Amino acid sequence: MILVFAERSDDELFRQALAFAHGLRDDVRAVGIDDSGGYSPDGCGAALARLVSEREPRAVLAPGTDRGNEVLAHVAAMLDLPMAANCTSATLGEPLTLTRVRWGGSLLEEARLHGSPALLTVAPHAVTAVDESADVELVPAATDARVRVSERVETVTAGVSLADADVVVSGGRGVGSAEGFAVIEELAELLGAAVGCSRAVTSAGWRPHTDQVGQTGTKISPSLYIACGISGATQHMAGCKGAKKLMAINPDNEASIFASADYAVIGDLHEVVPAISAEIRKTRGAG
Amino acid sequence: MLFATRARLLIRLVQGAAPTQRSGDVPRRVRNETEIVLGQRKLLQRLGPGLMHAFIFWGFLVLVPTILIAMIGIVDKHATLPWLGHQGWYALLVDIFCVLVLGGVLAALWIRKVQRPQRFEGSHLGEADLILALIATIVISLLLWHATRIALHLNEWPASWSPVSNALSHLFADDQTTRVLERVFVWIHVLTILTFLAYLPRSKHLHIFVAAVNVWFGRTRARGRLEPLKFDDPDVPEEDLRFGAGTAPDLTWKQVLDTFSCTECGRCQDACPAFATGKILSPKLVIMGLRDLVMAQDTETALVPTAVPADMVWDCVTCGACVQACPVSIEHVDHIVDLRRHLVMVDSSFPSESEQMLRDVERASNPWGKAQSERADWAAELGIKVLEPGDPAPEYLYWVGCASSFDERARKTAAATAKLLRNAGVDFAILGPRESCTGDPARRIGNEYVFQAFAEQNVETLNDAGITKVVTGCPHCFNTLANEYPDFGGDYEVVHHSELLSSLVRDGRIKPTKAQSDTHITYHDSCYLARHNDVVEAPRELVSAVGQPVEMKRSRKETFCCGAGGAHMWMEERGRAINEERVREAAATGAGTLAVACPFCTVMLDDGVQSAGADLRVVDVATLLSESIDGG
Amino acid sequence: MNVLVCVKRVPLTGGKIVLTDDERAISTRHLGFTVSPHEECGAEEAVRLIEQHGGSSTVLTLGPPEAEEQLRDMMALGIDRAVHLVTDGSNEWDPQATATAIVEAIEAQPDPPDLILFGNESADAGNYQVAIRVAHKLGLPVVTGVKGITIENDLSVRLEQEVPGGRDVYVVPMPAVVTVKEGLNLPRYPSVPGRLRAKRKPLETSTPDRPQPKLEMVKLTLPPGSGKQTEVLGNGAEAAPAVVDVLSELGLV
C-alpha cells in the first residue's frame, strides 16, 4: 500500500503525486493531517510517522512542495529512514530504485534507497496529474507539536502574483538598470502578465527578491514565459522549467536559453519589447 | 620669513605622505623637464593661452636675476650684479620680456574677462586676478625703475640697448623728483616681489616652484600602468597597510605634490568626457578638493565625500585625457583610482550594479559570469589550437579576452582575427578556458586585491606555458598584459592585433583584394590603445588598406572616449551618454563605417549608434580586413 | 548569543552541465565555486545577528579540502571561526551521513549554539532534509524556508516563512534550528581587511568516517532534451509582428 500525504498547498501537484503513486502499482491511500489548530510541520510529521508504524505501507509519498518536503523530512528523521526528495520516477524493489532531480532540474540522479518504507517526494511536473482527486482520509495532528504557525501575514501584491501567473515576462542582465524595466512592465501590463527577473537583477538591487525566477527564487509554471535579456543559466532555467511555452529575446544567438526556447527573437530587448508592445496596441486597436 | 614658514609646512606635508616609487629613468625625466617645463610643450597644446603663459614664464626665467639686481640696488643705489648687470644684451632681453610679460598679462585678462572659457568654472578667479595684478606691478615697476635710472645716468648698462626703458626715461628729468621716484620704484618693485613671495605658497601660484618638481617626478613608465598596492608586506603590520586613499595622510607624496601644483587652469576639465556630458566629475575639482583638505592638515575626515563627492569618483572612465592635457604633470587618474580603492576594498561602497561584476570576476573568472568551460565555444568550428598544459609554446599566444569570448558583437572580431592569422600561417594558439580575466575591470573599479589574484594566476599560466609573445585584440588586456603584469613576474612581448595584422599586410602575407576605396571609414582610437599606449598608426594602415579613411577632429591621442573604461561597461551612466556623443562626432564626418580596434568600443559605439539613431556600421578593423579578402 | 551556520561548497554551473566520464559527478574543470545561495544569506544573517546582539558566530562545512576557500569567504563576511569536516571529495555523503557528522561536530563544540542556520536546500543535491535531521538528533525545534529572523528576547526567536499569498509566523524558543532562503538579506561584499583577517581566523578540522549511504547515488544523467525545435521569429524590432501572431495563437491578443 502506498500512502500519499495530501499536502494541498498546490492541488495540481497533489494530483501529480497521486499519479506517481499509481505508477508504483500498488493500492494508494491519500491521507491528510487536520491542521485547523495551525500548521505544524513536526506535528504533521509525527502524525504521519504514527500512521506508518500502524499501517506499514511500502512507501510514503508527498508532493515536492515546500511543505511536502518538510513534513516528509520530519517523518524520515523521526523514523531514522532515508528519504529521496523530488523524484521523477521510481520502481518498488529491494532496494527501491528511483530517479530524482538535482540542480533544480538541470541534472538527474539515479539512486537506490535502502530503507522501508520508502519515503519519496514527487518532483513538480514530472508526471501528469490525475484528473480527479482521491478521497482523503483526515487524521488529527499530533498534540505535542514543537513548532506551530502563530499567525499569517498577508502580502499585498500589486498586479498578478508571480507563482500563479499564466503569463510571465522577465528581464535579466540585459535590461541594464531598474528604470530599464519600464518596457518589461509595459508589455506585462498589456498581456495581463506578472513581471519576473533573473538573479543578476536582484543582486544588483534593481528588483526585489520576490520577483526573482530561478532555483533559489520563485518557480513558475505559466502557459507562456517571455525571457528578455536572460542568457539562460541553469539556476534560472530551474525556475521556469514548468513553463509550457518559452519565448526568448536576446541579442546573442549563441545564448544557452535558446536551446530551451520554443520561440526566439535575436535582438536587443530595448528595441524588440517596445516594438512588440506597439504591435499589440496596433492589433487591438484595429481589431 | 612668511614664505619660509609656509614652505616648511608644505615640504613637511609632502615628506609625511605615503611613499611611492618615482626614481630612476633619469634621461626621460630630463627630457620631460626640458620639453614640458622649459619648452612649455603641454601648455602650447592650446596655442593662444599657451603663448600667453610661455611669455610670462620665460619672462620670469629671464627676469630672475633682476630680482637680485633690485635687491642689491635697494641697499646700494650704485651697485648691481657683477658682469650681468652691465650687459647690454641682457638689458635688451629684460626689456623685451617685460613687454612680453605685460602682453601676456593683458592676454590673460582678456581671456579671463572677455572670452571666459568654460574650463574656469569652479576655479578661484579672484586669486588669479590678484596674481596678474602683482605680476603687472612687478614688471611695470621694473621698467619704470630702469627708466628713472637711465634718466639719472645711473644705468650700468648702455641705455640704447634697452629701448623701452630708454623711451620711458624721457618722462623723467635728472632731478630730485626723479631721484625720489627711483627709490620709490625700486622699493615698490622689491616689496611687491616680497609680498608675492609670501602670498605665493598660500595660493595656487605655488605652482611656480612645485610644478617643475612635479614634472620631474611624473611617470616615465607606461601611462596606462597603475601602481600596485602591497598586501603582504612583511615589514608592514596589517593595520598599517595602505588600501588606497581614505584620508589625506593616505595620499602619496607625488599625489600631495600634484595637489600643490594645480593652477586651476581647467584644461583637464575641458578634456574630460564625463564633464562634457553633464556629469559632475571635473578632474580639476578633484585635485582642488584634495588640496584643500591636505593644506588644512586634516588627517581624520574621509576624502569622499568631503573633498571629492562620490559621484565624481565613479563618473571617471580612466581615459587619461586629463593627464594628457595637464601642463604640470598632475596624474588625476591615479588619485581617482586610489579613492576608488579605499571605497571598494575597505568600505565596500561602490555602485550596486557593479557588485555582480565583481562577484563574477572572482568566482567565475570573468566579468560576464559565464562558465569558463564555454570560453572557447566561439572557436569551435575554426580549427584553432587550444593550448593544453604541457603543449609546446606557440610563437604567439592569442589572448582573446573576456569580451571577445562572451559578447556576441565582440566575438565576430575574435573569429575574424583567428581566421586571418590562421590563413596567414601564423603559429598561434589560444588558452581557451585557462584564460581568465586579466583583472582590468576589477583593478579599474578599485579592487586591487582581486586584480592581483588574477595577475598572479595568469602570469603563472603564461609562464608555465612558456609564452613569450602575446597578441591581443583588446586594448585593456593589452595594457594590463604589457604594462602591469611585469610587476607580477610576467614579461611578454605584447602586440595589438592591428599591429600584427598590419605587419602581415605589409609583408604580403595577407592581401586585401576586395578593398573598396570608395567606402568612407572613420577610425575611432581606443583610449587605452592610443592615449595610454601610443598605438595609433597600425589600425589606420588597415583602414587605408580596405577603404577611404576620414578622421574625426578628436583623434589619435586626443581621442574622445567611448565610455566603457574605468569599469563603466558595468556601471549605469548619469547625464548624457558619452558613447552617443562620440557617435554623433563620427556620423558628422559623413562616413558610413565606424572602425574600432577594441571590443569595448565595439559594444559601446554600437549601442550608441542604436540609441542615437545614427547611420553607421560599427566594425573592428580585423573584421574589415577579413571581409576584404577573397574567401575571408 | 552564539550562532552556527552550515554551508556547502558547490560549483557555479553556467549555461550547461557537463558530466565526468564515469557519469558520477559534474565535471568541474574550469568551473568556479561558491557557497550555495541560500546558505550565503544564512552566513550574512549570522553576522548581522551578532552585530546586533553580541556574541560569536561559527561557520561549518562538510566538504573536501578545497572547501576551506568557502569557509574563509564566510569568515571574510565577519564570522568568527570555522569548523571543517574534511571529506576526500571523491565520494558523496548522503543526507543521513551528513546530518550525523554535523551533529557530532556540534555536540563537540565548547559553547552550544542558540541558533543553527542551514540553507533550505543545497543548490546541487537539493535533498531538503539535513537540517531537519540535525534538529531531531539534537532535540531542537526546526522551521524551514525562513525569510525573516527577529530575536525577541534571550529566550525566543520570531521566524517568518514565505508561503503562497503571504508569510507564516512561528515564534520558537531557542536553541533552535532554522533553514533560510535567499532573499532573507543581501549578503555584504567583503572588505579586503576582512579577507585578510579571515585568513588568520581559527579553523578547526576533523576527518569523520563516511558510513555506507542509505540514499545511494548510482549515476547522474542529463535530462532528455525537450526535442524542441526553436522557431526563430526574426531579428530585432522587425520580429514584432511575428511575435504578436504567436501571442494571438495563444489567445493573449
**Among candidates A113, A208, A266 on the partner chain, residue whose Cβ is nearest the Cβ of C215:** A113
Q: Which set of grid coordinates corresponds to residue B91?
A: 638689458
User: A63 with A90: CB under 8 angstroms?
Assistant: no
Strands (E) located in chain A: 2-5, 28-34, 59-63, 83-91, 96-102, 107-113, 118-122, 136-140, 149-154, 167-171, 194-197, 224-228, 245-250, 263-266
B-proximal residues of A, 220-259, CB under 8 Å: 231, 233, 251-254
Comparing C-alpha atoms, which of B581, B609, B577 is closest to residue B595? B609
Residue C39 belongs to a domain: yes
pLDDT tens for each residue of B350-372: 998 899 999 999 999 999 999 99
Omega prior to A117 cis, within 30 of 0: yes
| Claim to verify: residue A131 and residue A174 sit in the same structural domain | no
pLDDT tens for each residue of B142-185: 999 888 888 888 888 888 888 888 888 888 888 888 888 888 99
Interface residue A150 vs chain C (CB under 8 A):
yes
Looking up residue C91, the CATH number of its domain turns out to be: 3.40.50.620
CB contact under 8 A, B353 and A251: no
| Claim to verify: residue B242 and residue B202 sit in the same structural domain | no
From residue B93, give the alpha-carbon distance in Å to each of A87, B60, C43.
97, 12, 76
For an interface test with C, the pick among A86, A146, A258 (most C C-beta atoms closer than 10 Å) comes out as: A146
Residue C182 belongs to a domain: yes
Looking up residue B177, the CATH number of its domain turns out to be: 1.20.950
Looking at B503, B524, B555, the residue that finishes a domain is B503
Residue A152 belongs to a domain: no
Looking at B474, B503, B532, the residue that finishes a domain is B503
Q: Measured between beta carbons, which residues in chain A are less than 8 angstroms from residue B407? A: 252
**Among candidates A200, A231, A268 on the partner chain, residue whose Cβ is nearest the Cβ of B356:** A200
By C-alpha distance, the chain A residue nearest C213 is: A114
Q: Which set of grid coordinates corresponds to residue A236?
A: 534560472
Stated as kind and residue range, the H or E segment containing B522 is: strand B520-523
| Claim to verify: residue B289 and residue B364 sit in the same structural domain | no
Looking at B480, B503, B526, the residue that finishes a domain is B503
Residue B147 belongs to a domain: yes
Residue B632 pLDDT level (bands cut at 50, 70, 90): very low
- Calculate how close chain A gets to B406, using CA atoms only, in Å: 9
Residue A161 belongs to a domain: no
Q: Measured between beta carbons, which residues in chain A are less than 8 angstroms from residue C182? A: 209, 212, 216-217
| Claim to verify: residue A195 and residue A274 sit in the same structural domain | yes
**Looking at the 3D structure of chain C, how many domains does it have?**
1
Residues β-bridged to residue C148? C160
- Calculate how close chain B gets to A153, using CA atoms only, in Å: 30
| Claim to verify: residue A44 and residue A130 sit in the same structural domain | yes
Interface residue A65 vs chain C (CB under 8 A):
no
State the Cα torsion B51-B57-B59-B62 to the nearest 10°.
-140
Dihedral over Cα of B446, B448, B454, B455: its sign = positive
**Domain limits for position B145:** 23-212
CB contact under 8 A, B356 and A271: no
pLDDT tens for each residue of B483-542: 999 999 999 999 999 999 999 999 999 988 766 777 899 999 999 999 999 999 999 999
Comparing C-alpha atoms, which of A129, A239, A204 is closest to residue B354? A204
Q: Which set of grid coordinates corresponds to residue A12?
A: 495540481
Residue A197 pLDDT level (bands cut at 50, 70, 90): very high
Residue B93 belongs to a domain: yes
Residue C229 belongs to a domain: no
Residue C222 belongs to a domain: no
Strands (E) located in A155-277: 167-171, 194-197, 224-228, 245-250, 263-266
Interface residue A66 vs chain C (CB under 8 A):
yes
Is the pLDDT confidence value at A157 over 80?
no
- Other beta carbons within 10 angstroms of residue B38's beta carbon come to 14
**Among candidates A176, A204, A252 on the partner chain, residue whose Cβ is nearest the Cβ of B352:** A204
User: B355 with A204: CB under 8 angstroms?
Assistant: yes
Interface residue B364 vs chain C (CB under 8 A):
yes
Residue C231 belongs to a domain: no
Stated as kind and residue range, the H or E segment containing B245 is: none
Omega prior to B27 cis, within 30 of 0: no
Report which DSSP code applies to B353: G
Return mean pLDDT, chain C. Answer: 95
Residue B5 belongs to a domain: no
Stated as kind and residue range, the H or E segment containing B155 is: none
**Looking at the 3D structure of chain B, how many domains does it have?**
4
**Among candidates C31, C190, C191 on the partner chain, residue whose Cβ is nearest the Cβ of B371:** C31
Looking up residue B337, the CATH number of its domain turns out to be: 1.10.1060.10
| Claim to verify: residue B280 and residue B402 sit in the same structural domain | no
Comparing C-alpha atoms, which of A197, A199, A202, A193 is closest to residue A168? A193
pLDDT tens for each residue of A163-193: 889 999 999 999 988 999 999 999 999 999 9
Residue B159, pLDDT score: 83
Residue B175, pLDDT score: 86
Region for A178 from its dihedrals, namely left if φ exceeds 0, alpha if ψ lies in -120 to 50, beta otherwise: alpha
Whole-angstrom Cα distance, residue B418 to residue B396?
A: 12
| Claim to verify: residue B591 and residue B520 sit in the same structural domain | yes
Whole-angstrom Cα distance, residue A57 to residue A27?
A: 10
| Claim to verify: residue A189 and residue A118 sit in the same structural domain | no
- Other beta carbons within 10 angstroms of residue C112's beta carbon come to 13
CB contact under 8 A, C144 and A66: yes
Residue A172, pLDDT score: 95
Q: Measured between beta carbons, which residues in chain A are less than 8 angstroms from residue B408? A: 251-254
Return mean pLDDT, chain A. Answer: 93
By C-alpha distance, the chain A residue nearest B378 is: A254
| Claim to verify: residue B77 and residue B197 sit in the same structural domain | yes
Instruction: Of A43-52, B192-201, B484-493, B591-600, give the lowest mean pLDDT range.
Output: B192-201
- Other beta carbons within 10 angstroms of residue B47's beta carbon come to 10
Residues sharing a CB contact under 8 Å with residue B200, sequence separation 6 or more, in sequence order: B3, B206, B208, B209
Is the pLDDT confidence value at B6 over 80?
yes
| Claim to verify: residue A125 and residue A7 sit in the same structural domain | yes
Q: Measured between beta carbons, which residues in chain C are less than 8 angstroms from residue A96? A: none
Residue B13 belongs to a domain: no
- Calculate how close chain B gets to C34, using CA atoms only, in Å: 7
| Claim to verify: residue A189 and residue A274 sit in the same structural domain | yes
- Calculate how close chain B gets to A250, using CA atoms only, in Å: 10
**Domain limits for position C55:** 2-206
Backbone angles phi, psi at B277, to 5 degrees: -110, 30
Whole-angstrom Cα distance, residue A16 to residue A54?
A: 26
Instruction: Map residue A112 onto helix, strand or coil.
Output: strand
| Claim to verify: residue B497 and residue B516 sit in the same structural domain | no
Residues sharing a CB contact under 8 Å with residue B553, sequence separation 6 or more, in sequence order: B585
User: B485 with B411: CB under 8 angstroms?
Assistant: no
Residues β-bridged to residue A110? A99, C219
Q: Measured between beta carbons, which residues in chain C are less than 8 angstroms from residue B231? A: 192, 196
Give the strand pairing for A118-122 and A83-91. Answer: parallel
From residue B465, give the alpha-carbon distance in Å to each of A112, B391, B460.
45, 7, 8
**Looking at the 3D structure of chain A, how many domains does it have?**
2
pLDDT tens for each residue of B69-105: 888 888 888 888 888 888 888 888 889 999 999 999 9
pLDDT tens for each residue of B462-477: 999 999 999 999 999 9
**Domain limits for position A26:** 2-140
Residue A128 pLDDT level (bands cut at 50, 70, 90): very high
pLDDT tens for each residue of C14-47: 888 999 999 999 999 899 999 999 999 999 999 9
Q: Measured between beta carbons, which residues in chain A are less than 8 angstroms from residue C169? A: 149-153
Question: Is the whole model's pTM more than 0.95, yes or no?
Answer: no
Interface residue A203 vs chain B (CB under 8 A):
yes
Whole-angstrom Cα distance, residue C94 to residue C99?
A: 9
Give the strand pairing for A28-34 and B469-472. Answer: unpaired
Looking up residue B530, the CATH number of its domain turns out to be: 3.40.50
| Claim to verify: residue A130 and residue A187 sit in the same structural domain | no
| Claim to verify: residue B382 and residue B325 sit in the same structural domain | no
Pick out chain C residues at pLDDT < 50: none
Residue B18 belongs to a domain: no
Q: Which set of grid coordinates corresponds to residue B551?
A: 578622421
| Claim to verify: residue B119 and residue B180 sit in the same structural domain | yes
Q: Using DSSP, how many helices (H) and how many strands (E) does chain B show?
A: 27, 8
Instruction: Name all chains with 3 or more CB-CB pairs below 8 Å to chain B.
Output: A, C
Interface residue B377 vs chain A (CB under 8 A):
yes
Alpha carbon A184 to chain centroid, angstroms? 23
Residue A245 belongs to a domain: yes
Residue B497 belongs to a domain: yes
Strands (E) located in C48-141: 56-63, 81-86, 115-119
pLDDT tens for each residue of B256-282: 999 999 999 999 999 999 999 999 999
Residue C158 belongs to a domain: yes
